């Protein structure tokens, strides 16, 4: 009987506890549901130079003593919020240094993820009222895209929910981000020009429309030699007959699809295009070389190799104007650089297979031949690896799981759920399809698995694997691919604000075994796709603790420097400094010191690469900076992406790597990072740590094989001129590569916006050396406004010609290919009561409105207007428009 009563009592207690827990969960969920639906959040950047407003940014520990003031407003549109059991998680690319409202605190979680929650002093948020929370953040925020979407509410055991007015993938964040107004400058020393309709009109003023008949027969990228005849052939009457002897059927099918995109049939009755390969017809023997002659009877191609045939036909496609007309012409052509590349980051935010294939197709049309595929980063692992399922089951997903057992923590505006591009990966079959697709277009796929830094997704995935196998009683298997030294207590902070879990430990055999496993599995995919790996990209960048950077100083230093942040550097460590395994390496003399470990690991991985039958290793240049030279590596060749800013000395430091035997791919962020903004305007998204803008004209004017020359044609980040000269010999660049990092490129459409039409300027400079590009001369100094080595008139004429080709021809072709490219905002001004307007790409339609966008009219020349006027440009197919701006 006692046992029976005890059982009843136990059941009753359990039921009561379960009921209590259920009620608690329900209460927590009600808090989340209420707050996420009735709160309206507003984020206002108040002052980007808070130090000039009396804030002691140095004392707050801000890098270079630079900080900003933000006002965060929480407007409550419903009943009073009295509970303290809640938190709002949000993404912020700036570290929060101070919160000036004692009822709230903000904690840094990891990366850009922060947590806002009430303190003990919190009372309530009254019904139909609002609270303001002044915040001090590091650096500055001069673009609306600096603010990330998907702020979300949590409470104990409840399912998190996104605050309604922050729930978007769009760059239009006006629902919760206040206009920046005058807060578009980095500092008072920022001399950039804000792009308004008036200033844009001035920038476009030297661009003149060229008559369409003068553009007939022109080819992009520009050939070495081109002679255009007067006869024309209309291709859409009978189509084309492709007789491409020596070209693989897969590549011929690509060309057929490109003709069909332009509504030109491929048929036996069409205009004959004959091709053959004859290496003896070319003195220099450069891959991709071709000769093309078009007469009224047909087109004849003689090529050095298969890719030469492909590029020759692409030149025919390029020359097609309106009404499918081509001219008779003669071409002799060869690429300038062996490496004409594009890097796409899919680690920060995933991009669909469709978007990748579209990018590859567009690269092939403009004769680009290297696709650098960044497949991993701190924020995500993006490729299936047989035998390591945790990499994709866990490492490809982001969600709100504070234990990080199910997924990585949210980053970069992905919010609490895995239903957006913060999550995703390529299956093995996807990747093989991508490589096949690239191979048919003569594009080499260069996979990158970034290490030893930027490796958090891999590291945390292997920790999940470790725990699973340990739970199964398999310690040997658990440690086989573990990437952390569990005894490492190093206190480090990465560039993206992660801790030591972002750095793969280079002193563990298991790290090398992991590298071998991943490289070998991806190599198998390439073999199956018919394109064995020729180049493996090691990564290697940014393996450092940012708190040892030049913008910080030790708070205990006897002599303090003005303009530097004060932090306690005595508690800071270099990566792996407190790893017993790495300390042993230093003691044994395997490395000179801890800071040399990234380059040591690069050498070790080069051996793995070589053992997998790959003879070329590629890396970001800082990953190999402590190696003696290129001969220290096991692979036959070592190639570096050189990504120093020119105005910070990159114009000369590039020579150090070239003179150590590395092949140099010019990849400078201040010119060819396509994630930088198009123009200086808070509405234009993009990071700007290297440059306030990288537009088509700046990229077109870039001299990649004489970096000092660019000091005569461009400015630094502050809009000021700078002097540059090379003090060493320069053997020449191996190639040119554009990069797209995707921290704030969350969608496929945004990727297209950022890539096109800038990619055309990159392709032009990678394929063709312009006459205004001067040859490198050691010790020759260039400077804007002081030297005159560059033929500026010729540069201007060339740009005008290029801009007209884009506006009058190429953008229409992008429309045919369903590319959501960026449409430029027109320039305009009111002059004597009349609207005058221009656009950077002549041929695009400009429209204006005098009734706030209710009705639009085509602009055909100066027109009398009254009151406010809105302007926009329209795509060639009339389906899309640019951002709308208003003349005041």
H or E element in which residue 3 lies: helix 2-38
What's the per-residue H, E or C state across 307-355?
HHHHHHHHHHHHHCCHHHEEEEEEEEECCCCCEEEEEEECCCCCCCHHH
Quick one: tokens of 613?
């039958």
Higher pLDDT, 740 or 15: 740
> What digits encode the pLDDT tens for the residues 402-428?
999 999 999 999 999 999 999 999 999
Quick one: tokens of 344?
């796409």
pLDDT at 17: 44
Quick one: tokens of 403?
């234990």
542 is catalytic: yes
- Average pLDDT of span 622-642: 97
* Per-residue confidence band for 8, with pLDDT thresholds at 50, 70 and 90: low
Put simply, whether the predicted model's pTM sits higher than 0.85 gets the answer: yes
* Per-residue confidence band for 24, with pLDDT thresholds at 50, 70 and 90: low
Q: Is 861 exposed, middle or buried (0-12, 13-18, 19+ CB in 10 A)?
A: exposed
Q: Which of 383, 372, 573, 366 is nearest to 485 (CA)?
A: 573
> What digits encode the pLDDT tens for the residues 465-478?
999 999 999 999 99
- Two domains, one topology: 339-542+575-790 and 791-888: no
Q: Which of these CATH numbers, 1.10.3720.10, 3.40.50.300, 2.60.40.10, 3.40.50.880, describes 791-888?
A: 2.60.40.10
**Residue owning tokens 């390591």:** 388
* Per-residue confidence band for 7, with pLDDT thresholds at 50, 70 and 90: low
pLDDT at 19: 45
Cα–Cα distances in angstroms (integers) from residue 792 to residues 137, 268, 773, in the given order: 42, 48, 10
Helix (H, G, I), strand (E, B) or coil at 233: strand
Cα–Cα distances in angstroms (integers) from residue 784 to residues 150, 188, 713, 722, in the given order: 44, 21, 6, 7
The answer to whether 235 and 324 are in contact (CB under 8 A) is: yes
CATH code linked to domain 32-166 = 2.60.40.290
pLDDT at 18: 46
pLDDT at 22: 55
**Sequence-ordered list of residues with C-beta below 8 angstroms from that of 271, at least 6 positions apart, any chain:** 233, 235, 238, 239, 240, 241, 298, 299
- Average pLDDT of span 730-735: 97
Q: Which of 827, 818, 830, 735 is nearest to 342 (CA)?
A: 735
For 359, phi and psi rounded to 5 degrees? -65, -45
> What digits encode the pLDDT tens for the residues 361-398?
999 999 999 999 999 999 999 999 999 999 999 999 99
Average pLDDT taken over every residue of the chain:
96
* Per-residue confidence band for 257, with pLDDT thresholds at 50, 70 and 90: very high
Q: What is the DSSP letter of 561?
A: P
Return the ∠ at Cα 204 (arms to 702 and 319), rounded to 5°.
Answer: 65
- Average pLDDT of span 535-559: 97
Q: Which of 255, 266, 319 is nearest to 293 (CA)?
A: 319
Find the catalytic residue in 384, 444, 542, 810. Answer: 542
pLDDT at 888: 77
* Per-residue confidence band for 16, with pLDDT thresholds at 50, 70 and 90: very low
Is the pLDDT assigned to residue 2 strictly greater than 80?
no
- Rounded Cα distance between 428 and 436, Å, is 12
Domain boundaries, the chain: 32-166, 225-333, 339-542+575-790, 791-888
The residues facing 274 across adjacent strands are 243, 300
Instruction: Taking the CA atoms of 98, 101, 103 and 104 in sequence, report the sign of the dihedral they define.
Output: negative
Q: Is 124 exposed, middle or buried (0-12, 13-18, 19+ CB in 10 A)?
A: middle
**Residue owning tokens 């969920």:** 29
Fold of 339-542+575-790: TIM Barrel (3.20.20)
CATH code linked to domain 225-333 = 3.30.379.10
Over pLDDT 70: what percentage of the chain? 97
- Average pLDDT of span 496-510: 98
Q: Which of 297, 299, 301 is nearest to 282 (CA)?
A: 301
143 φψ region: left (φ > 0), alpha (ψ -120 to 50), beta (else): beta
Return the ∠ at Cα 722 (arms to 720 and 726), rounded to 5°.
Answer: 160
């Amino acid at each position: 009987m006692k046992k029976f009563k005890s059982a009843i009592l136990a059941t009753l207690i359990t039921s009561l506890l379960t009921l209590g827990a259920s009620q608690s969960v329900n209460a927590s969920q009600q808090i989340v549901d209420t707050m996420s639906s009735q709160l309206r959040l507003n984020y206002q950047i108040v002052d980007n130079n808070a130090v000039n407003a009396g804030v002691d940014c140095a004392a707050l520990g801000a890098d270079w003593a630079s900080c900003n003031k933000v006002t965060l407003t929480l407007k409550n549109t419903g009943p009073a919020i009295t509970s303290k059991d809640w938190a709002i998680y949000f993404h912020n690319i700036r570290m929060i240094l101070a919160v000036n409202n004692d009822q709230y605190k903000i904690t840094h979680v990891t990366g850009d993820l922060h947590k806002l929650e009430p303190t003990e002093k919190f009372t309530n948020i009254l019904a139909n009222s609002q609270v303001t929370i002044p915040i001090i953040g590091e650096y500055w925020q001069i673009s609306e895209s600096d603010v990330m979407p998907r702020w979300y509410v949590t409470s104990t055991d409840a399912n998190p929910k996104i605050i309604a007015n922050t729930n978007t993938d769009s760059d239009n964040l006006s629902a919760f981000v206040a206009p920046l107004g005058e807060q578009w400058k980095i500092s008072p020393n920022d001399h950039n020009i804000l792009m308004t309709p008036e200033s844009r009109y001035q920038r476009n003023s030297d661009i003149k429309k060229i008559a369409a008949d003068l553009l007939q027969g022109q080819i992009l990228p520009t050939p070495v030699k081109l002679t255009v005849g007067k006869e024309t052939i209309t291709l859409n009457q009978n189509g084309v007959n492709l007789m491409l002897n020596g070209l693989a059927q897969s590549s011929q099918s690509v060309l057929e699809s490109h003709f069909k995109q332009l509504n030109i049939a491929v048929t036996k009755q069409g205009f004959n295009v004959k091709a053959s390969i004859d290496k003896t017809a070319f003195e220099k023997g450069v891959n991709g070389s071709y000769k093309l002659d078009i007469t009224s009877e047909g087109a004849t191609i003689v090529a050095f190799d298969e890719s030469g045939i492909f590029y020759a036909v692409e030149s025919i496609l390029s020359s097609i104007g309106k009404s499918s007309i081509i001219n008779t012409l003669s071409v002799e052509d060869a690429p300038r650089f062996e490496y004409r590349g594009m890097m796409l980051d899919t680690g920060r935010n995933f991009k669909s297979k469709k978007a990748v294939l579209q990018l590859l197709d567009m690269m092939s049309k403009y004769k680009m031949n290297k696709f650098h595929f960044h497949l991993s980063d701190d924020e995500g692992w993006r490729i299936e690896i047989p035998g390591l399922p945790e990499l994709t089951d866990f490492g490809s997903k982001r969600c709100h799981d504070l234990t990080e057992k199910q997924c990585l923590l949210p980053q970069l505006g992905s919010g609490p759920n895995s239903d957006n591009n913060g999550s995703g990966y390529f299956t093995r079959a996807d990747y093989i399809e991508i490589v096949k697709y690239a191979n048919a277009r003569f594009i080499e796929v260069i996979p990158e698995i970034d290490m030893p830094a930027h490796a958090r997704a891999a590291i945390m995935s292997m920790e999940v694997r470790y725990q699973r196998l340990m739970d199964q009683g398999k310690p040997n298997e658990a440690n086989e691919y573990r990437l952390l030294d569990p005894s490492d207590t190093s206190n480090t902070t990465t560039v993206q604000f992660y801790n030591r879990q972002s750095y793969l430990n280079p002193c563990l055999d298991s790290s090398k075994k992991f590298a071998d496993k991943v490289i070998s599995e991806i190599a198998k995919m390439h073999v199956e796709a018919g394109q064995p790996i020729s180049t493996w990209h090691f990564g290697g960048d940014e393996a450092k603790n940012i708190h040892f950077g030049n913008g910080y100083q030790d708070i205990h230093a006897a002599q303090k420097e003005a303009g530097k942040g004060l932090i306690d550097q005595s508690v800071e460590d270099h990566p792996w400094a407190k790893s017993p395994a790495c300390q042993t390496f230093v003691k044994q003399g395997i490395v000179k010191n801890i800071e040399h470990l990234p380059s040591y690991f690069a050498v070790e991985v080069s051996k793995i690469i070589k053992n997998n039958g790959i003879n070329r290793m590629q890396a970001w240049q800082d990953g190999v900076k402590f190696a003696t030279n290129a001969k220290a590596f096991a692979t036959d060749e070592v190639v570096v992406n050189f990504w120093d800013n020119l105005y910070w000395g990159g114009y000369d430091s590039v020579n150090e790597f070239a003179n150590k035997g590395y092949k140099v791919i010019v990849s400078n962020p201040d010119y060819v990072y396509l994630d930088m903004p198009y123009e200086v305007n808070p509405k234009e998204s993009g990071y700007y740590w290297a440059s306030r803008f990288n537009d088509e004209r700046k990229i077109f004017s870039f001299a990649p094989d004489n970096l000092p020359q660019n000091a005569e044609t461009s400015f630094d980040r502050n809009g000021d001129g700078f002097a540059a000269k090379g003090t060493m010999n320069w053997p020449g660049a191996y190639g040119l590569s554009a990069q797209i990092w995707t921290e704030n490129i969350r969608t496929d459409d945004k990727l297209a916006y950022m890539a096109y039409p800038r990619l055309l300027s990159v392709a032009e400079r990678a394929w063709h050396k312009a006459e205004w590009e001067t040859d490198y001369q050691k010790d020759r100094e260039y400077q804007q406004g002081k030297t005159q080595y560059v033929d500026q008139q010729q540069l201007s004429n060339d740009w005008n010609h290029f801009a007209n080709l884009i506006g009058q021809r190429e953008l229409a072709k992008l429309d045919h290919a369903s590319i959501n490219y960026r449409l430029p905002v027109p320039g305009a001004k009111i002059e004597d009561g009349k609207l005058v307007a221009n656009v950077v790409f002549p041929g695009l339609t400009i429209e204006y409105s005098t009734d706030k966008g209710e009705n639009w009219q085509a602009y055909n020349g100066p027109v009398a207007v009254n009151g406010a006027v809105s302007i926009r440009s329209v795509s060639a197919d009339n389906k899309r428009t640019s951002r709308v701006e208003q003349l005041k």
